[in-house]
Amino acid sequence: MFSAAISKTRVPIVRNARAFVATAQRKTGEESQAAIAERARKNRPVSPHLGIYKPQMSWVLSGLHRNTGVLVGGAAYLYTAAFGLAPIFGLDLGSVTAAATVASIPLPLLLATKALIASSLSFHCFSGIRHLWWDSGRSVTNQGVFKSGYAVLTATALATGYLTFF
């Protein structure tokens, strides 16, 4: 009786599978596999990535720390390379030329540039200190993460204001 029940349940599954295979083979004959795959890729939903998550201080500040590191480090590498290659191309990147160039920039653009550089450098510095603090095993609780995050943002705001206007 048990084997009869198994054989009855297997027959429709096998028939359905054969019908599906026959349908798939017929479609393959009409269209190429590449066209079917391309149509499937176009209909595939896009991954939501970060848009579905509520921003949290920990991962927002971590991302900002990485981005400011790339910005500050990249600018330092570019200026170092330019300074090293300047004599080959007959350019003068000495302090007198740099001071004259900065003096010729309009004040609003100068302040915006100084604020961008100061905020990136300050945030990366203070956030790095925060990470070193965590590496020592301190303030790794949720409350400590928020307190140190607000401390980094406050110190960054104060340092950016000072470095921009003085």
What tokens appear for 51 in the block?
A: 């848009």
What pLDDT score was predicted for residue 10? 46
Q: Residue 152 in contact with residue 127, Cβ under 8 Å?
A: yes
Residue (of 163, 61, 77, 155) closest to 116 by Cα position = 163
What pLDDT score was predicted for residue 12? 46
How do residues 14-39 score in pLDDT, each as one tens digit?
Answer: 444 554 444 555 555 556 888 888 88
110-to-52, 80, 104, 120, 156 alpha-carbon distances in Å: 38, 21, 9, 15, 19
What pLDDT score was predicted for residue 52? 79
What pLDDT score was predicted for residue 37? 84
Q: Residue 110 in contact with residue 23, Cβ under 8 Å?
A: no
What pLDDT score was predicted for residue 7? 47
pTM above 0.85, yes or no: no
What pLDDT score was predicted for residue 67? 97
**Residues of the chain below pLDDT 50:** 1, 4-16, 19-22
What pLDDT score was predicted for residue 28? 52
Angstrom distance (rounded) from CA 54 to CA 3: 55
What pLDDT score was predicted for residue 31? 65
